[in-house]
Chains A and B, each alone.
Chain A
Amino acid sequence: MFNFFTFFSNTHTIDQFIFFMVLAGIIVPSIAIILGIVFANLKKWGKEKRWYSLSACGIAWLIISALMLIML
């Protein structure tokens, strides 16, 4: 079973950072990009173009996360 406290101990700092950055820096922004494109083209919801703003934010977020991973 996943043990939150032993995983987030001082000996696994780089692993924690990569885990967090992959989850919050790559997976979540990717979901935002996909959601934005899907909803912008959904006929049932009127193909509203304002959903592309969500994809734009996701892309910017992804770029910042990539820069942080490069700096590490």
Chain B
Amino acid sequence: MFKKCLKYDLKSIFSVWWIGALVLIAFSIPAGLSLRSIFSSTPLYSLDYFEDIGMLFIILFVFLLASFALFSDILIYSRYYHHFYTDEGYLTFTLPVKRSTLYNAKLASAVIVKLASVLVLSFALILFLSISGLGFAEAVRELFLYLTLDFEVITLFILKLLTIFLSSLLTLFTIFFVITLVNSFLKKHKVLAGVGLMYALNIVAQYFTNVYTFILMDQKPYTIYDPSFAFQALTDMFIILAMLTAIVLLYNLTLSMLKRRLNLQ
């Protein structure tokens, strides 16, 4: 049943998602050509008027990069809310499927959509930079050479990637938790309560991040910053385990609320 739930979730999200992806990739080509023209000694455009349009393409492309990331996130959260807490929710919870299966399918589809979005964003950026002729290929080659030089460099790079991945996952779990909490316990002002709760959780997370950064990462001579591999790896693993604990807590709490409280109206 998990595969079927996952299939329908992905079908629902990707039926709209592909439009945004296509628009972003399509805009990367004229934006790349415009950037190439700006830095070239022999511009593609002979008239200033076309140079202004070229700048507009570049600005639009940068705007689309940010918008597409937000667009795919909104699709995920909108799907979660509509499938569980609107008229569609009545049908969802009458299906002969465990609540944990439904929830896990939502999480799996969200992770797949986020990964697909990262791939599309990377592809659009690579296309834009390659067409613009800014020496992108040489930069990638040098980065690859740097990363294959040292075991310690690779390990720290992998830990940093894991940190970024878990950070994105933590945001996902937090928003699912907030949507479930406000819809399970409140009858009115759900949006306001949800926004307030997200704001409060963000403040707490920001506090710990700032203190951690100040004490451990600041490179002034008085801090305990230690550039050795062991200490750097331990500090990264500290952050990873802190985020993992928060993710596991949010997962368990959300699932418990889904199993016990249903406040469909």
Contacts and interface: CB of A to CB of B under 8 A. Distances in A.
Contacts of B134: none
A53 B252 contact: yes
A10 interface: yes
Interface string A27-63: 0110010010001000001101011011001101100
A54 to B, nearest CB: 5
B50 interface: no
A16 B249 contact: no
Given A8-B214, A17-B215, A20-B215, A68 B234 contact: yes
B219 to A, nearest CB: 12
Nearest to B240: A64
Contacts, number: 70
Given A61-B241, A64-B237, A67-B234, A72 B224 contact: yes
B263 interface: no
A13 B224 contact: yes
A48 B100 CA distance: 12
Contacts of A67: 234
B235 A68 contact: yes
A10 B245 contact: no
B215, B244, B255, most chain A CB atoms within 10 A: B215
Interface in B215-265: 215-216, 220, 222-224, 226, 230-231, 234-235, 237-238, 241-242, 244-245, 248-249, 252, 255-256, 259-260
